[in-house]
């Protein structure tokens, strides 16, 4: 990543903020895209103090013209874009029957169409050069939807289908532009303090177990540097995806019983005057950073991810050990 030009959308907080910091520390020149100007500026100051080259471009990814203009400015000021990370999202937490058509549309405009816009802007510039990487920040919930998160799950399902179509098209064309989708578990981010909540009395929370956003950032960086079409992060993601494949009816019954309570904090009532980020950014009121309020329960490491990232080396070592053992057995005969 040394001197590579990397674009991160949704960079003002949460996983986007952690990802921008991770790429900057790897030596990349980082372009930060999000709606909140002050929070982007705060992050940029931090990264510049650490020696990074940073460009902030306030952008609403639901607006194609803004995204395309941002890409033009980035290439003019930083150089050709090498990596584009589509991370921006928004959501509504509540039952389908309580969610309006306008709320669903806004979530899809940001979460899904924001990814489409970022991908198209990147492709316009990467395809003529026949190089570049587009990383989509996905979710285990792109494979298994859960109650109360129809808007978010729909957006992530759409991203998965869109990315699979694009990947096959690029292969058909013989293109060296590469795509990767990183499927994430629950993370300790600002999302749960900002999400619009409908019909619930308790403060929302990610479904445990919970991971720190730096783990996601590590996975996204790895995906940008390695040729892996899809990267699963954490045992919860593996269990969610495989469980949905193998025992879908059981998963339905389990979620019907437990899916509501697991997404709410039992002893923290929801504030009646709580604001949300659905239509306007909240991060200009304060610098929230990458983390949410669940740090006392969040994990920084994942054994599954380490094994996943090193599976070739582990497989080679296992094969070598097997060959040595077989040789010893043969020698003793």
Q: Report the pLDDT averaged over residues 208-215.
A: 93
Burial (0-12, 13-18, 19+ Cβ within 10 Å), 161: exposed
**CATH classification (class only), 5-301:** alpha beta
Question: What's the rounded Cα separation, in Å, for the pair 238 and 232?
Answer: 7
> 224-236, pLDDT tens digit by residue?
999 999 999 999 9
> 163-189, pLDDT tens digit by residue?
999 999 999 999 999 999 999 999 999
> 23-49, pLDDT tens digit by residue?
999 999 999 999 988 889 999 999 999
CA angle 75-81-86, nearest 5°? 115
260 annotated active-site: no
How many other CB atoms sit within 10 Å of the CB of residue 97?
8
* Residue 300's pLDDT band (cuts 50, 70, 90): confident
Q: Decide: helix, strand or coil at residue 220.
A: helix
Mean pLDDT of the chain: 91
Q: What is the pLDDT of residue 198?
A: 95
Domain boundaries in the chain? 5-301
Task: Evaluate if pTM is beyond 0.75.
Answer: yes
Q: What is the pLDDT of residue 293?
A: 87
Q: What is the pLDDT of residue 332?
A: 61
User: Of 112, 152, 277, 288, which residue is the catalytic one?
Assistant: 152
CA angle 240-179-46, nearest 5°? 85
Q: Decide: helix, strand or coil at residue 144.
A: coil
């Amino acid at each position: 990543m040394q001197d590579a030009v990397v674009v991160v959308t949704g960079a003002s907080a949460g996983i986007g903020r952690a990802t921008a910091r991770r790429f900057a520390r790897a030596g990349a020149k980082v372009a930060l895209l999000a709606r909140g100007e002050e929070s982007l500026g705060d992050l940029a100051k931090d990264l510049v103090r650490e020696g990074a080259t940073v460009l902030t471009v306030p952008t609403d990814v639901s607006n194609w013209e803004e995204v395309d203009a941002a890409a033009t400015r980035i290439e003019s000021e930083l150089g050709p874009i090498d990596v584009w990370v589509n991370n921006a999202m928004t959501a509504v937490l509540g039952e389908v029957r309580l969610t309006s058509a306008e709320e669903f549309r806004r979530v899809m405009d940001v979460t899904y169409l924001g990814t489409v816009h970022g991908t198209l802007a990147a492709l316009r510039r990467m395809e003529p050069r026949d190089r570049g990487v587009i990383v989509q920040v996905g979710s285990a919930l792109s494979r298994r939807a859960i109650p109360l998160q129809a808007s978010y799950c729909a957006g992530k399902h759409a991203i998965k289908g869109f990315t699979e179509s694009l990947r096959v098209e690029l292969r058909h064309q013989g293109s060296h532009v590469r795509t990767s989708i990183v499927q994430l578990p629950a993370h300790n981010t600002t999302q749960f303090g900002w999400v619009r909540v409908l019909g619930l009395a308790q403060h929302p929370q990610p479904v445990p177990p919970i991971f720190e956003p730096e783990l996601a950032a590590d996975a996204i960086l790895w995906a940008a540097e390695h040729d892996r079409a899809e990267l699963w992060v954490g045992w919860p993601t593996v269990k969610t995806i495989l469980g949905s494949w193998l025992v879908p009816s059981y998963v339905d019954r389990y979620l019907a019983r437990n899916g509501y309570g697991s997404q709410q904090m039992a002893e923290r009532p929801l504030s009646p005057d709580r604001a949300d980020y659905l239509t306007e950014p909240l991060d200009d009121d304060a610098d929230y950073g990458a983390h949410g309020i669940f740090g006392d329960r969040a994990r920084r490491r994942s054994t599954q991810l380490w094994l996943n990232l090193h599976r070739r080396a582990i497989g080679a070592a296992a094969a070598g050990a097997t060959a040595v053992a077989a040789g010893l057995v043969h020698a003793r005969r």
